[in-house]
Structures are given as C-alpha cells and as structure tokens.
Amino acid sequence: MAKTPAQRMKKHGARAVVPDNQLPPVINPTTQRTPQKAQGNSRLIVIAGVVASVFLFWYLHLLALNQMTQLSGGLAMPDSLIGGFSQDYIVQLRSAMDSDALGQLNYVHKTAGTLFPLIFGFSWLLLIGTNVARKSWRWAMWAAPLLFAVAHLWSNVAIDSVLASEAPDAGSVAVASAVTVASWMLFLVSLLCGVVAVFLGRKGTDGKGSGARNAAAKS
C-alpha cells in the first residue's frame, strides 16, 4: 500500500520525495490586499467615524443638553456656553435644578458626553492621518483633536464638580469655565484641521493623477 506524504516525511525526513500532485495548492495571489484596497478600507472607517461624530454632536448639544433646559427653568447648561460662565450663573443654575436634574446631567456627561469626544478625536486622527502625507504637518494637526478630547472630558468633570458643591468657589468655577471655552475653541480648530486635511488629500490625489497622465502622454 502506498505511503502518504506524511508517512514518507516521518520515515525519510528531508530526503522524502513528495509527488507533485500531492503538493498543497498555491495560495491565490489575487486575494492579496493591494494598497488601493487598504486605502479604501481606511476611508470607509473615516466616513463611519465622521458620521458617528456628527450624530453624537447632534444628540449631545442639540438634543440632550437642550432638553435639560426644561429642568433648569430655561437656563442653558454650562456645556453649551461657548463664552464661558460666571460663579453667579452656576449658583443660579444650581438653585434652579434639583438633585434629580443634576443626576440626569451627570448621566449625560458619562454617556454621550464621554463618547462624543473620544469618537470625534479618534475619527479626526484617522481623517488627518489618511490625508496628510507630511509627518510634521500631521503631528501638528493631530494636536487639536487630542487636546479637544482631553479638554471636553475635563470639562464634564469640572462642571459636575461645581454643580455638586453647595457653595462653589470662584476658583473652581473659573477653571470649569476656562476648560469649557478651551474645549469649544479646540473643537473649532479640529474642524478646520479636518477641512485642510481633506483639501491636502485631494490635492495630492490630483497631483498623482496629473503626473500619471503626463507620463502616459510622454510614452
């Protein structure tokens, strides 16, 4: 009875001769992922992240925090005040909100208020990374979404802290206000960086396309 390739290898070692018709099939080279496919997959991830960021921004600032004004006598939440807030405003807001309302605001901060900066920051890192080729520019533009995520998360904690205090001091309120303003400014800068990154990506693509066309014309 004929021996199998495994039996031949066990008996003769490296000297074993395996018939060609029993060799394992060659992996189909057409299944290898090309750079174009990898770039297309990364763009799909970026698009999904941008869509998720837009949805979370709408849910957090235009829906959840806006609805919280129904529990505060019409006063806006500190997160929505781009220009910051004062100690008197925090005292007035705290007196208008009961413990249940403060608990709901804290819950918003822990859910959408946490997911939004993290997903936005990650999506913008990918957006910039896939469109900006120059390393120095890429690192400089990455700073904005990274700092935004840190500032936004910090503002959540700072706002909850001053609202939880029965007598919020001026220093704590000033820090919470400054971090909130910084969060909004960094968010706007991040949006600008995203627009510039997309412009640079398209410019680079157009340049490669025109270069390929010129080379084809010369040939």
Instruction: Say what the pLDDT of residue 212 is.
Output: 43
Which phi-psi region, left, alpha or beta, contains residue 28 (left: φ > 0; alpha: ψ -120 to 50)?
beta
- Backbone φ, ψ for residue 190 (5° rounding): -65, -40
Q: From CA 155, how far away is CA 96, in angstroms rounded?
A: 21
Residue found by looking up tokens 């957006």 in the block: 127
CB atoms within 10 A of CB 100: 9
Domain extent listing, the chain: 42-218
Residue 64, φ and ψ in degrees, nearest 5: -65, -55
Whether 185 has a pLDDT exceeding 70, the answer reads yes
pLDDT digits (tens, 9 = 90+) for 126-151: 999 999 989 999 999 999 999 999 99
Which of 9-23, 47-61, 138-152, 154-168 is predicted with the least confidence, judged by mean pLDDT?
Answer: 9-23
Amino acid identity, position 10: K
Using the structure block, give the residue that is written with the tokens 């249940």: 100
pLDDT at res. 166: 87
Q: Count CA within 13 A, CB hemisphere, residue 135.
A: 0
Averaged pLDDT, 1-19? 57
> In the structure, what pLDDT confidence band is assigned to residue 202 with cuts at 50, 70 and 90?
confident
**Residue 90 has which token pair?**
């925090």
**41 versus 22: which is more confidently predicted?**
41
- Using CA atoms, how far apart are residues 99 and 42, in angstroms rounded to an integer? 45
Work out the pLDDT band at 4, boundaries 50, 70, 90: low
Which carries the bigger pLDDT value, residue 39 or residue 86? 86
Q: Model confidence over 63-114: pLDDT tens digits?
A: 999 999 999 999 999 999 999 999 999 999 999 999 999 999 999 999 999 9
The structure tokens listed for 45 are 């991830």
* Pairwise CA distance, residues 189 & 156, whole Å: 20
pLDDT of residue 201: 85
Question: Which carries the bigger pLDDT value, residue 12 or residue 131?
Answer: 131
Instruction: Check pLDDT > 80 for residue 39.
Output: no
pTM of the model: 0.77
- Band of residue 216 on the pLDDT scale cut at 50, 70, 90: very low
